[in-house]
């Protein structure tokens, strides 16, 4: 790799381009280039730029030209720094490059560390993630499938046996049944504190679960705890008025964040840049009974997504103000229900259930299709994860609406993909036409 290391500018430019190929993206900027230089050494940057979606370490050794006995400790150090995620399965070690979010932004601030210029990094991340036009936020949250989804508070749900609530919608079930649980400092509130704008919410609230928890514990980024301790942290976060935002998957949920509207990066994208879909809503939406509402503004102050406004009722009745919920902005988190002392708030089911991907890979593929990055993901998948992952990616593509699937494959100029979609959709049409009504 020595010929590339002679030009460090090129090394970091290639790393930015590799990160930008991910479904969440990483637009270039001077601030981002400096972040990469502070986090990655030149040799780490070049290795990261070569990483596919996920790759066995021994395969990465072959393709990078780094002997396995040198690469393994290098991967360990990068995992400790939060630049890659490593895991073991079947006695084989795998590694994946961490995206910017959820990724090395969080891993940088979720623990006390003295091995990086943390205050300088905080200022650079503030500029890159939140200031200006929001280019990064718009890149990350383009499309309708997002990295995070809101979890409704079970305490706010109606006591109705006919109302269907699935296990993967309930924070207590996710934490209580997770094979392993870990906790870290909230990176968003840690970052906000470094910027002088932290709130008083608790910080030991960032929960990781299952394989994600195991990976972060192994890298020293999280502390292992019991399921009971995880449920206690969850209860404390709810009492503090924090909203629960989970990994946007049904199976293998990797994290639950306990979010405030003032510090959380996803909530800031909603508030600062008007990206109302930055967090996928739950299958519930807040409803206000205007006969009970006193216009006290407690729900308005508690809402993390600015979905509630207080309006003058124009002299109708004895009360001067009402709380009004915007269903397009409402995350369905239920925080407002807990804050209302008048019993005016309730949670009602949305008219249509929200789409939730089955697992992390399905989410990545769907995001790539929506963001026009299917080609990059297919190449990286074929390069590292193998034919089974590629087969699943193609299956998800076929499941999309014909127009969306056609738009996704058009830039790839693939005779195979065009033919596969045409044949599949023709077969679907003929089957629909022959189905008796």
Task: Please indicate, yes or no, if residue 29 is contained in any of the structural domains.
Answer: yes
Task: Please indicate, yes or no, if residue 236 is contained in any of the structural domains.
Answer: yes
Give the number of other Cβ atoms within 10 Å of residue 256's Cβ: 26
Element (H, E) at 74: helix 68-80
Among 328, 349, 370, residue at a domain's last position: 349
| C-alpha R_g of the chain | 23
Q: What b/e sequence results for 361-388 when a residue is b if at least 16 CB atoms lie within 10 Å of its CB, and e otherwise?
A: bbbbbbbbbbbebbbbbbebbebbbeee
171 and 269 fall within a common domain: yes
61 and 165 fall within a common domain: no
41 and 61 fall within a common domain: yes
Segments forming the whole domain that contains residue 334 = 284-349
Q: What pLDDT shows up at residue 401?
A: 75
134 and 197 fall within a common domain: no
Q: What pLDDT shows up at residue 431?
A: 58
127 and 10 fall within a common domain: yes
Euclidean distance between CA atoms 261 and 299, whole angstroms: 13
Task: Please indicate, yes or no, if residue 130 is contained in any of the structural domains.
Answer: yes
8 and 131 fall within a common domain: yes
Q: 7: which residues sit within 8 A by CB, 6+ positions away?
A: none
Task: Please indicate, yes or no, if residue 211 is contained in any of the structural domains.
Answer: yes
249 and 314 fall within a common domain: no
User: What is the pTM assigned to this prediction?
Assistant: 0.88
Q: What pLDDT shows up at residue 10?
A: 94
Q: 166: which residues sit within 8 A by CB, 6+ positions away?
A: 250
Euclidean distance between CA atoms 101 and 25, whole angstroms: 9
Q: 221: which residues sit within 8 A by CB, 6+ positions away?
A: 80, 82, 107, 110, 111, 184
Q: 205: which residues sit within 8 A by CB, 6+ positions away?
A: 183, 186, 233, 236, 237, 242, 257, 258
Task: Please indicate, yes or no, if residue 301 is contained in any of the structural domains.
Answer: yes
Extract the tokens encoding 59: 């395969």
In CATH, what number is assigned to the domain containing residue 345? 3.30.70.3270
328 and 268 fall within a common domain: no
131 and 17 fall within a common domain: yes
Euclidean distance between CA atoms 19 and 351, whole angstroms: 37
- The CA-based angle 334-340-185, given to 5 degrees, is 50
Q: Pick from 53, 50, 47: which is nearest to 71 by CA?
A: 47
Q: Pick from 200, 191, 29: which is nearest to 106 by CA?
A: 191
Q: What pLDDT shows up at residue 1?
A: 46
215 and 245 fall within a common domain: yes
Q: Are 223 and 183 in contact (CB under 8 A)?
A: yes
| Total number of domains constituting the chain | 4
Q: What pLDDT shows up at residue 165?
A: 87
Task: Please indicate, yes or no, if residue 354 is contained in any of the structural domains.
Answer: no
Task: Please indicate, yes or no, if residue 189 is contained in any of the structural domains.
Answer: yes
Task: Please indicate, yes or no, if residue 190 is contained in any of the structural domains.
Answer: yes
Positions of the chain with pLDDT lower than 70, given as ranges: 1-6, 314-319, 381-391, 409, 412-414, 416-417, 420-421, 424-437
In CATH, what number is assigned to the domain containing residue 31? 1.10.10
9 and 41 fall within a common domain: yes
158 and 126 fall within a common domain: no
Among 273, 297, 325, residue at a domain's last position: 273
Among 138, 164, 188, residue at a domain's last position: 138
């Amino acid at each position: 790799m020595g010929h590339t290391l002679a030009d460090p500018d090129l090394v970091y430019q290639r790393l930015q381009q590799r990160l930008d190929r991910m479904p969440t993206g990483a637009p270039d900027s001077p601030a981002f280039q400096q972040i990469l230089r502070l986090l990655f050494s030149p040799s780490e940057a070049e290795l990261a730029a070569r990483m596919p979606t996920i790759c066995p370490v021994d395969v990465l050794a072959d393709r990078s030209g780094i002997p396995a006995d040198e690469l393994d400790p290098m991967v360990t150090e990068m995992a400790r720094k939060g630049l890659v995620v490593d895991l073991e399965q079947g006695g084989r070690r795998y590694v994946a490059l961490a995206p910017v979010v959820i990724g090395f932004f969080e891993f940088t601030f979720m623990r006390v560390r003295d091995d990086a210029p943390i205050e300088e990094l905080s200022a650079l991340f503030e500029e890159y993630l939140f200031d200006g036009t929001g280019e990064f936020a718009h890149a990350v949250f383009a499309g309708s499938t997002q990295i995070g989804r809101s979890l409704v508070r079970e305490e706010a749900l109606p006591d109705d046996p006919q109302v269907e609530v699935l296990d993967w919608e309930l924070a207590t079930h996710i934490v209580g049944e997770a094979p392993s649980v870990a906790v870290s400092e909230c990176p968003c509130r840690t970052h906000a504190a470094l910027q002088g704008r932290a709130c008083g919410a608790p910080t030991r609230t960032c929960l990781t679960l299952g394989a994600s928890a195991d990976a972060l514990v192994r890298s020293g980024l999280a502390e292992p705890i019991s399921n009971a301790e995880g449920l206690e942290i969850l209860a404390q976060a709810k009492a503090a008025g924090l909203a629960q935002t989970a990994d946007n998957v049904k199976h293998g949920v990797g994290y639950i964040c306990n979010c405030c509207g003032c510090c959380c990066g996803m909530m800031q994208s909603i508030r600062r840049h008007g990206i109302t879909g930055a967090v996928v809503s739950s299958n519930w939406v807040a409803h206000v009974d205007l006969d009970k509402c006193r216009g006290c503004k407690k729900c308005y102050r508690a809402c993390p997504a600015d979905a509630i406004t207080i309006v003058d009722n124009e002299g109708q009745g004895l009360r001067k103000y009402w709380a009004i919920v915007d269903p397009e902005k409402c995350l369905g988190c239920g925080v407002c229900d807990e804050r209302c002392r008048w019993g005016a708030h309730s949670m009602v089911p949305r008219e249509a259930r929200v789409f939730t991907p089955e697992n992390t890979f399905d989410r990545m593929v769907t995001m790539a299709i929506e963001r026009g990055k299917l080609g990059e993901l297919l190449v990286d998948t074929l390069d590292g994860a193998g034919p089974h992952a590629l087969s699943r990616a193609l299956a998800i593509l076929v499941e999309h609406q014909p127009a969306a699937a056609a738009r996704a494959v058009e830039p790839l100029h693939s005779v195979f993909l065009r033919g596969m979609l045409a044949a599949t959709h023709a077969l679907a049409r003929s089957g629909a036409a022959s189905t008796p009504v």
